[in-house]
Structure 1
Amino acid sequence: MLILSEEQIRSFYGMREALRDLAPALQAEHAGQVQNPPRLVLDVPEREASALYMPSAIGGLGAVGSKVVTVFPHNPPRGLPTIQGVTLLTEADTGQHVALLSASYLTRLRTGALTGLAAQHLARPQASRLGVIGTGGMALEQIQAVQEVRPLSELRLFNRTPDKAHTLAEDLRTELPGVSISVSPTAEALVEASDMLVASTQSSTPVFDGKALQPGTFISGIGSYLPSMREVDETTIRRASKVVLDTLEGTRHEAGELIHAEQQGFWSFEQAHSDLAGVVAGAKAGRQTEEEIIFFKCVGAAYFDLAVALGAYQEARQRGLGTEVAL
């Protein structure tokens, strides 16, 4: 079995590779070649934390896998990351367990790549002003992904703790030369000045007022992943011309803002425009007008993790990287 650490994966696998590897997986999903059972979520209430167990298989790519990821939001003061995970990769022809990969970086990478693919199809072609609400562990890869598909002219950041936003802004000024980077005093000021928006929080209450959205805005909601979480408000959902989901089944059980909207009776999952797979495969239209507001909701799915784990494993084999162990 090949063991791949986060440091090793980072040395050769980045956002461009993740975008490359997720697109065929989404096409396989649209073709009915993906098995993706509902993930099992175990709560750790005393830490306000969760452990997620996520198996999947992608037919045609010859891959079976299972990811275990933990989300412990109070870890940073203890010097530990919020998100930690591993992915076990199994060879579909023989059932041999071929690799164990650190999954924390890959989780952030594939979540960013999903926003990137969504922005590629759903944001206006000329969009270049990105606003990010929530500058925690997921924010950097979200920005990198959007930059790959819609090169940025302006980036605005907002965080409940302003120091975190200022720290990320300073780090990004070297990585994104030529991009105007600032920290917004309020979420609404950020939203009003953005034509692309990422909400990357674990908030149980909406983090911005949908009245501030400008016509033509693309919104990616990637932070909330439990029925109790709602980072996007009712106004945003009501104003959205299209709601696109990463997966219908996952969002039906885990997207708190959409579950709330259905319970309130002003929106239903049957009204969703498409899943992302349908848009990427070309079966459903992406953006059709300059004015429409489009909301992409992402809660994650195991086959996304499997796609990037398989891509990283194949690259590592080609490069002779990783640590081989006998079990």
Structure 2
Amino acid sequence: MESIRRAAVDPRTLERSAARSGFQAPGGEVLLMPAADDRLTGVKLATIAPENPGRGLPRVQGVYVLFDSTTLAAVAVIDAVELTAVRTAGVSMVGIAALGGATGRAAIVGTSVQARAHLRLLVELGWCDDFTVHGRRAEAVEELAAYGRSLGARATSGTPADLATAGLVICCTSASVPVVPDTLAPDVIAVAVGSHTPTAAELPAGLFKDAQVVVESQTAATTEAGDVIQAVAAGTLAPDAVVELGAVLRGDVPIDPARRRIFKSVGMAWQDLAVATAVFESEISERG
């Protein structure tokens, strides 16, 4: 997470990366996310197969290949799903800290790998030990809640009333329509990480009214962050009210803990590279 925090101050000065690209395959979508710095170059190849859960297979799969930037020799292959889970949860934690930190009970919306990673990191950091879990399938909700309890946290199946009173709400779903109401607490921190297309939004447009809204980059916010794009289109969010995470981390933008605060993350290639570099350097160090 620290490598992400350092890079997030202004990733454009540290990394060379391209926008996410993709193409359709018979079974779904293939995504490519490349990035490079002077030492290492990485490319994430991720696949999304919507019908796989019915086959008993993961919906998202993939690999991350790391190269030496000078020789372009491959130096590591990393599981892309696990890397993305670590990256996404790490970026969320940076965003949560920048917005004032987790307070009170947290609500985890979704039961995916991402939901598990966020719950785990919140517990490991000591930021939260009281959770409600929200999802469509009762068995999946209970499984994630049981996982939280195995970490020593209090975790139960959540109700709509729990969402309305939570101090932190994290949405980690594949839904294309909002999964929470616009009646969350007036001082809540809401985090949305599950979508990265203009037509998909986990947060309703009404939630953005009078909120402080933070994104990874203005470019990503206007091209990929459906939650933000739809709120702007609905007139509940002014385009110039959206600020970048780096500006908050540098102290350029003050945060008001009495206001509703929203962090929308779509995931960026430089973040994957930051995490992959940390994993690679840790492995090299352990080998001596």
TM-score of the superposed pair, with normalisation by structure 2:
0.92
**What amino acid sits opposite 2:204 in the alignment?**
D
Q: Which residue of 2 aligns with 1:8?
A: none
Residue 136 of structure 1 and its aligned partner are, at CA, apart by 1.6
Instruction: State whether structure 2 residue 243 is matched by structure 1 residue 292.
Output: no
- In the alignment, structure 2 segments of 5+ residues that lack a partner are none
Instruction: State whether structure 2 residue 137 is matched by structure 1 residue 161.
Output: yes
Instruction: State whether structure 2 residue 187 is matched by structure 1 residue 245.
Output: no
Instruction: State whether structure 2 residue 3 is matched by structure 1 residue 21.
Output: yes
Q: Which residue of 2 aligns with 1:278?
A: 247
Partner residue of 2:85 out of 104, 108, 117 = 108
Deviations 1:37-96 (A, max 9, x none): 21112235x65x32211111235xx22211111122332332322221211212223333
Contact 2:179 2:203 in 1 (8 A): yes
> Residues 283 and 50 (structure 1 numbering): CA distance in 2 closer, same or farther, change over 3 Å?
farther
Secondary structure at the counterpart of residue 9 of structure 2: helix
- The CA distance in 1 between the partners of 2:68 and 2:6, in whole Å, is 18
- In the alignment, structure 1 segments of 5+ residues that lack a partner are 1-18, 322-327
**What amino acid sits opposite 1:104 in the alignment?**
V
- Aligned CA RMSD, in angstroms, stands at 2.1
Instruction: State whether structure 2 residue 156 is matched by structure 1 residue 182.
Output: yes
TM-score of the superposed pair, with normalisation by structure 1:
0.81
- The CA distance in 1 between the partners of 2:168 and 2:93, in whole Å, is 11
- The CA distance in 2 between the partners of 1:130 and 1:229, in whole Å, is 23
Instruction: State whether structure 2 residue 164 is matched by structure 1 residue 192.
Output: yes
Deviations 1:252-302 (A, max 9, x none): 211112222233344343320x2222323x143353x33111100011111
Residue 27 of structure 1 and its aligned partner are, at CA, apart by 3.0
> Residues 309 and 43 (structure 1 numbering): CA distance in 2 closer, same or farther, change over 3 Å?
same
Residue 215 of structure 1 and its aligned partner are, at CA, apart by 2.4
> Residues 99 and 124 (structure 1 numbering): CA distance in 2 closer, same or farther, change over 3 Å?
closer
Contact 1:245 1:296 in 2 (8 A): yes
- The CA distance in 2 between the partners of 1:149 and 1:279, in whole Å, is 21
Residue 193 of structure 1 and its aligned partner are, at CA, apart by 2.5
Secondary structure at the counterpart of residue 138 of structure 1: helix
Equivalent positions of 1:58-97 (< 5 A) are 58=37, 62-97=39-74
Contact 1:115 1:145 in 2 (8 A): no
Number of equivalent positions: 288
- Percent of pairs with identical residues: 24
> Residues 195 and 230 (structure 1 numbering): CA distance in 2 closer, same or farther, change over 3 Å?
same
Contact 1:28 1:58 in 2 (8 A): no
Structure with the greater relative contact order (CA < 8 A, sep ≥ 6): 1 or 2?
Answer: 1
Partner residue of 1:220 out of 191, 200, 204 = 191
Contact 2:205 2:234 in 1 (8 A): no
- The CA distance in 1 between the partners of 2:163 and 2:280, in whole Å, is 39
Residue 146 of structure 1 and its aligned partner are, at CA, apart by 2.6
Deviations 1:214-242 (A, max 9, x none): 122111100111122111101111141x1
Residue 305 of structure 1 and its aligned partner are, at CA, apart by 0.6
**What amino acid sits opposite 2:21 in the alignment?**
L
Contact 1:122 1:286 in 2 (8 A): no
